[in-house]
Structure 1
């Protein structure tokens, strides 16, 4: 498999860990949305987080949505993932361009600015679970770390990285989420904090060709790391012409009639994968007959 997630435990189940390589899905997202380098980095990070967080969902039909609304030039991002780590997403302004940050990196924090991260979990209950936290840095990994600490009370370390080639394609993408269980001993907590502080950066680990297994071994090897399983992850959109047709039906007869009277075929774009769906006047008339 090309992109995949590793799930693991360590320290006699006191630590749970996830690590992912997501180069192909990040590059696919870049290609379909034609994102600028900084938008590619932001979207790639959130897609990676979404894939790992989606894989934590218990039910096969559970859905996770990560939504960022912000006042920076990128305006916002939305990513949706399921329990099988199928993930999709988009940025509100894919063309945003910014100079590098003071340390020479893509300035994702500057692209996002201030805003709110919403984590929406649809677990087939009456209402979805919604957790919201303010962005603390706009760098996404720190924002998700803060979300876990405040909304779910789970001490976590989140690292997300996207490296670009000189031609602005994606060279590397991936990350990890490491979490302490409520019964974690103080000694384990202290040792883990020290180990994580020793890591140079996730982008350095990715650029050194470390696999997800090797990344977790690098961080948690001394904690009796146990790899539980691996699962593929991919950019997957479930849009179709039939689903778009249902959306058109839902807008009501009056608006559909106006489209027909304009005597122009319509084009509907999927936000997530940028697929274009065309509807002729004849098709709109058929849809009108089906609408209420």
Structure 2
């Protein structure tokens, strides 16, 4: 199954929801980074959450979701564009923790003290940025907490990543449900949704049984009429390029660039997101230096 996302709106217009499958893109990102089982589960959840958040944006906009905790993973960053392009990385991909009560210890790997920061590039002068303290460090609950606290949008989020013993991703996906104002006018529908979410098996179980975004939403909205607004593909896609890496070198400043030219015949710069490597020889470094001067 190719990765894709479905967005719906209830007939009453006060509940919107999205569901997606992200197995392929999560697998590609985790493989590129050589992520362990624990790191793959954590990174996969953040990638999936960012894909859902990116789908709420207007064309050309982008969201960055960053988890920084006191756990051994250090940091997880994922970016998603409204088009469905997703990328991300984890600070220490080799971290692998013992199972906790039979489950992958994502919260322990992220750490229970820290912050979730959401930055939205809305094509304005300054990006919008919201930060909340980590709530459970399980990722889904933290994203729901962010929406409720920072954007005042009551939300429910479910994320799942099934990692095989060899660290291959065999299932990944999730859902995001939000109550739009005036939410209080339709309390019964929201209450029914909450009960159904709690009664629904884990996202990974449903995906491994063959659930699609459509069937996942149909299950959650069993007695709530809705309309499908959009279906679009999701894929891993990095925005790096040699010109962008040139800008990164220029950002080092005149003094550091001079030192590189004097000390090295060539410099290798690696993209944190996709691990692509870019080589710059001395003549290229000298050209960048002249550009600064």
Same fold (TM over 0.5): yes
Q: Is the 8 A contact 1:249 1:291 kept in 2?
A: yes
CA distances 1:57-88 after superposition (whole Å, capped 9, x unpaired):
12x22221111111000011111111112111
* Partner Cα separation in structure 2 for residue 285 and residue 255 of structure 1: 12
Q: Where in structure 2 are the equivalents of 1:193-232 lying within 5 Å?
A: 193-232=194-233
Partner of 2:223, secondary structure, is: helix
Structure 2 equivalent of residue 20 of structure 1:
20
Partner of 2:177, secondary structure, is: strand
* Partner Cα separation in structure 2 for residue 246 and residue 117 of structure 1: 28
Deviation at 1:6, TM superposition (A): 0.3
Structure 1 equivalent of residue 249 of structure 2:
248
Partner of 1:267, secondary structure, is: strand
TM-score (norm 1): 0.96
Structure 2 equivalent of residue 260 of structure 1:
261
Return structure 1 stretches of 4+ with deviation > 3 angstroms. Answer: none
* Partner Cα separation in structure 2 for residue 238 and residue 130 of structure 1: 21
Deviation at 1:198, TM superposition (A): 1.0
Structure 2 equivalent of residue 233 of structure 1:
234
Q: Is the 8 A contact 2:60 2:83 kept in 1?
A: no
Structure 2: give runs of 5+ residues left out of the alignment: none
Q: Is the 8 A contact 1:250 1:291 kept in 2?
A: no
Q: Is the 8 A contact 1:164 1:170 kept in 2?
A: yes
Partner of 1:84, secondary structure, is: coil
Name the stretch that deviates more: 82-91 or 20-29.
Answer: 82-91
Q: Is the 8 A contact 1:49 1:160 kept in 2?
A: yes
Q: Is the 8 A contact 1:117 1:134 kept in 2?
A: yes
Structure 2 equivalent of residue 122 of structure 1:
121
Structure 1 equivalent of residue 64 of structure 2:
65
Structure 2 equivalent of residue 112 of structure 1:
110
Deviation at 1:11, TM superposition (A): 4.5
Structure 1 equivalent of residue 289 of structure 2:
288
Structure 1: give runs of 5+ residues left out of the alignment: none
Name the stretch that deviates more: 110-119 or 246-255.
Answer: 246-255
* Partner Cα separation in structure 2 for residue 243 and residue 115 of structure 1: 30
Q: Where in structure 2 are the equivalents of 1:261-276 lying within 5 Å?
A: 261-276=262-277
How large is the Cα RMSD of the aligned pairs?
1.3
Structure 2 equivalent of residue 132 of structure 1:
131
Q: Does 1:74 align with 2:45?
A: no
Deviation at 1:12, TM superposition (A): 2.1
